[in-house]
Structure 1
Amino acid sequence: MVSSQNAYGVAALDLGVTKALGAFIAGIRFDALPAAVVHEARRGVLDWIGCALAASCHDTIRILLDTFADIGSAPRAHVLGHGGLKIGLLEAPIVNGQMGHLLDFDDTHMGGVVLHTSSPVLAALLGLAERAPVSGRDLIAAYVGGFEAGVRAGLGAPAHHDGGWHLTGTLGAIAAGAAGARLLGLDAAQTNHAIGIATTQAAGMQQNRGTMCKSLHAGKAANSGALAALLAARGFNSSVEILEGKRGFTRIYSTQSTPERITEGLGERWEIARNGYKPYACGIVLHPLIDAMIALSQNAALPAEAVARIELSVHPHAVKITGVDDPRSGLMSKFSINHSASVAYLDGTAGIAQYSDARSGAADVLAFRPKVQVTTVDAFGKDQAHATLIATDGRRFEAPVAHASGTVKNPMSDAALERKFLGNVADILGPDRARRIADRVWALDALDDVRDLVVLCA
């Protein structure tokens, strides 16, 4: 006789994948982490706080805060960059998580999974850290654990992105749930459940690129993760095979399932050590061509009217993710190859200002966009591009990019990352306070109570 459970398809497979991942995360100890991993965590915290504060005055955040004010809840956790404002313990992660991802300036893991891990994870952790004292060492250990869970879940579902899911919303929830469990000091079984509770909330669709919803995915993932950890701490349960089960994440969120990759190299390969950081405020797959266009702008030194056309060669992923020809807003322009190539050449950079509503409709940008011709090269890496400028007088200029700035193979230095942070924060909180925050983050593992850092950023 076939049991109803087996017929439904949730009978245990006994692969032990989620259990092993949960046990590993619960067992992460700061003192056992490699020095390079700890330092990468400091870098990630610094970069994310800067990205969140840079977006703190955006209209999207005003709408979110006005809505939460209307709903009303006990003010227990700070909103970054809002003069000490506190909102609900589960609402603050939504706002802070959305701020972190709103400008598309936040870090991106590209080691087989394209994931903005820090926005959901750190927004969840900072909210949970306001319940009771949490040391900087424990925050780092939890942050590292979140990276392991989020990226590895993605490796177990290799066709997940192809299905139209926005990985920061889906994998971000898993990452935040695991990180929250580690921060609260949950045991292996509770962490297993926290991962399950977070995973069953995983959501976010690529159709919402270029809208306010895209960054909401990061906030909701932070909220889901924080809730999952709090529930698991009180005995709330879930499937213990949420990742690998017959109806688990890797089976139903992807047409290909490789759950064995989730635990491959646990404790030997640290995913946060393969993180990347953005020098430009747009989709990561645009960064190679932006590097190339800036190089052309500097080397050719030709005015726009002397440029006949630009021939761009990129990885197919760049067109698939960012092939918006005529963006009508700043948020949408972050997903336009033509726009990014144009502002990179015209302005010599691609920062926050280049993806404003005003710049997306500027006359010089609109005139330059038709000059950009894009072809894809299957053999290219995702961080590779080649740009050729053909001048009106027939001269040609070439700019090959093997690895985009900010990627693991062409990383941003600590100094460059700090310059980005100070540039993002100085106008929001003032240069002196920005400097104090940076100093506090570089010494994060010496911090006894993370709330000191949160208040400084609020």
Structure 2
Amino acid sequence: MSQRFDMFAAGLHYDDLPEEALWTLRRSFLDTMGVAAVGSTTELSDIARRVAPLIFGAGGAGHSQMLMDGRAVSPVGAAMAGAFTVDSIDAHDGTTPCKGHAGSAIFPALIAMAQASAPQISGRRFAEVLATAYELSYRAGLAQHATCADYHTSGAWTAVGVAAAGVKLLGGTAEQIRQAAGIGEYHGPRSQMMRCIDHPTMVRDGVGWGAPSGVTAAYLAMEGFTGAPALTCEGEDAAAFWADLGSGWRLVDHTHYKAYPCCRWAHPSLDSVKEMMRHHNLSHTQIERVEIRTFHYATRLAGHEPANQDEFAYAIAFPVAAMIVRGKVGIEELCAAALRDPDILRVSRTIELIDDPEMTRISTDKRWAQVTLVLNDGRRIQDAARTPRGDADMPLSDAEIRAKFHDLADPVLGAERAQEIAELALQFDGLDNAGFQRLLDLCCLPV
């Protein structure tokens, strides 16, 4: 039976969470912290963390430490800086039906609020709050995409989930949760995603302002500020997306993980060329050109000669070329030297992205692409159309998630600190107050 979203959020207890949901939250905790670690090395993150202490000093709400930084700011400031840090490397978890990402806003925002809360909370309590944020964010995102003409960034709908879950963390009532969701939705950044895809810059997926908007909304609602209704939660057109709340879990069904640090729209092509190059024992010197048939939005990623990490994140051609030349796409392929690699650039310039109406039609809950390699001896090697690994039907294994974390985090944090984060994150919901605080401290110590 359906529940009102505010009653669901207020009443959700740890024992209500299925094991699949807890498994997903543990994986997302580890995955997000790995991305935060390497994200802390980016110029984007450095700017955000320099600005946060200037404009978001700690106040009566308590202080929070910025992820991978250690400096104390307000919960709003830590949410802003942390969200930009995670979003600066496009490798965090996501949800294909919402065309976006939740963890990049949720983890920085709720970790910031948990640090500022008194008394300290347990991992069990944090799991309840995380699950609330994910489930409400996903459903609000589905409703927004179905009812709004423009394609808005993830910051628009994660602000709703963060706001509601933030009130839950602070011990608020169902009515305060309802008001917070309305405040978060109203003030959340309805930024145009395709603008950043057409013109890649540091604004990214909007979570850098969605996370602090949600945190602000939570504190406002706790003081009596009103903002309901949130139309993505209570609007008549949104009702279908909330009908099975309490019985179905979008958190479980819709969360995916990335094997590569770039837009997921490039991933089916990356999986395809990786397999074809190995199966046919090909060298990049044999590639004359590449044809990629995919859906309309993806063709706008292009990115044949990205000049920086932001342009790399929203590209298909260059990451695919890197896979053809190097057999991998990892953090090393984002560095300045790789962006100037003549072999990668040669292949990248040959790649043609073809806007395929059928791919566009079927790319709703999945993202489709079909790749053809044209060799310089005239042969055409065509792969079947495919969707990317990492979705619920083709999940990355626990071992792959853990290996990815260490690949990202170890060079930045050191193996010892990274190992302790991994061990604690994968059992965070079983940690007592002191153990969970230790995990948060590890995630916020300076790099």
Out of 50, 62, 66, the residue aligned to residue 66 of structure 1 is: 50
> Is contact 2:188-2:210 (8 Å) kept?
yes
Q: Secondary structure at the match of 1:219?
A: helix
The yes-or-no answer on 1:208 pairing with 2:196 is: yes
The yes-or-no answer on 1:34 pairing with 2:18 is: yes
> Is contact 2:289-2:374 (8 Å) kept?
yes
Q: Match for 1:190: what amino acid? A: Q
> Is contact 1:403-1:409 (8 Å) kept?
no
Out of 100, 104, 128, the residue aligned to residue 119 of structure 1 is: 104
The yes-or-no answer on 1:141 pairing with 2:128 is: yes
Q: 1:185 to 1:282 in 2, by over 3 A?
A: same
RMSD: 2.1
Q: 332-341 or 373-382, which moves further after superposition?
A: 373-382
Partners of 1:208 and 1:42 lie apart in 2 by 30
Partners of 1:391 and 1:323 lie apart in 2 by 21
Q: Which residue of 2 aligns with 1:156?
A: 143
The yes-or-no answer on 1:447 pairing with 2:434 is: no
Q: Match for 1:94: what amino acid? A: M
Q: Could you state the TM-score of these two structures normalised by the residue count of structure 1?
A: 0.87
Q: Which residue of 2 aligns with 1:304?
A: 284
Kindly state the Cα deviation for residue 324 of structure 1 after the two structures are TM-superposed.
3.8
Kindly state the Cα deviation for residue 213 of structure 1 after the two structures are TM-superposed.
1.3
Partners of 1:162 and 1:282 lie apart in 2 by 26
Q: 123-132 or 324-333, which moves further after superposition?
A: 324-333
Out of 328, 335, 343, the residue aligned to residue 349 of structure 1 is: 328
Post-superposition Cα deviations, 1:379-437, rounded to whole Å, max 9, x if no partner, equal 34443322221211123333335331111121101110011111111111111111111
Q: Which residue of 2 aligns with 1:77?
A: 64
Partners of 1:70 and 1:186 lie apart in 2 by 30
Q: Match for 1:306: what amino acid? A: Q
The yes-or-no answer on 1:173 pairing with 2:162 is: no
Partners of 1:87 and 1:47 lie apart in 2 by 24
> Is contact 1:115-1:171 (8 Å) kept?
no
Kindly state the Cα deviation for residue 332 of structure 1 after the two structures are TM-superposed.
0.8
Post-superposition Cα deviations, 1:297-322, rounded to whole Å, max 9, x if no partner, equal 212333333212212222333224x2
Q: Secondary structure at the match of 1:258?
A: helix
The yes-or-no answer on 1:360 pairing with 2:339 is: yes
Q: Which residue of 2 aligns with 1:323?
A: 302
> Is contact 2:141-2:158 (8 Å) kept?
no
The yes-or-no answer on 1:388 pairing with 2:367 is: no
> Is contact 1:300-1:397 (8 Å) kept?
no
Q: Match for 1:375: what amino acid? A: I
Q: Which residue of 2 aligns with 1:10?
A: none
Kindly state the Cα deviation for residue 241 of structure 1 after the two structures are TM-superposed.
4.8
The yes-or-no answer on 1:239 pairing with 2:228 is: yes
> Is contact 1:403-1:410 (8 Å) kept?
no
Q: 371-380 or 84-93, which moves further after superposition?
A: 371-380
Out of 402, 413, 416, the residue aligned to residue 386 of structure 2 is: 402
Kindly state the Cα deviation for residue 360 of structure 1 after the two structures are TM-superposed.
2.8
Partners of 2:296 and 2:56 lie apart in 1 by 46
Partners of 1:430 and 1:331 lie apart in 2 by 26
Post-superposition Cα deviations, 1:345-385, rounded to whole Å, max 9, x if no partner, equal 11212222223343333322221123212223333444332
Q: 1:241 to 1:316 in 2, by over 3 A?
A: closer
Q: 1:401 to 1:441 in 2, by over 3 A?
A: farther
Partners of 2:202 and 2:6 lie apart in 1 by 33
Kindly state the Cα deviation for residue 52 of structure 1 after the two structures are TM-superposed.
0.8
Partners of 2:376 and 2:10 lie apart in 1 by 62
Partners of 1:330 and 1:355 lie apart in 2 by 6
Q: Which residue of 2 aligns with 1:280?
A: 260
Q: Which residue of 2 aligns with 1:254?
A: none
Partners of 1:419 and 1:33 lie apart in 2 by 27
Kindly state the Cα deviation for residue 295 of structure 1 after the two structures are TM-superposed.
1.4
> Is contact 1:30-1:137 (8 Å) kept?
yes
The yes-or-no answer on 1:437 pairing with 2:421 is: yes
Q: Which residue of 2 aligns with 1:220?
A: 209
Out of 41, 45, 66, the residue aligned to residue 57 of structure 1 is: 41
The yes-or-no answer on 1:45 pairing with 2:24 is: no
Q: 68-77 or 412-421, which moves further after superposition?
A: 68-77
Kindly state the Cα deviation for residue 326 of structure 1 after the two structures are TM-superposed.
4.1
Q: Could you state the TM-score of these two structures normalised by the residue count of structure 2?
A: 0.89
> Is contact 1:146-1:176 (8 Å) kept?
yes
Q: List structure 1 segments (4+ residues) > 6 angstroms apart after TM superposition.
A: none
Q: Secondary structure at the match of 2:229?
A: coil
> Is contact 1:79-1:85 (8 Å) kept?
yes
Partners of 1:356 and 1:190 lie apart in 2 by 46
Q: 1:395 to 1:98 in 2, by over 3 A?
A: same
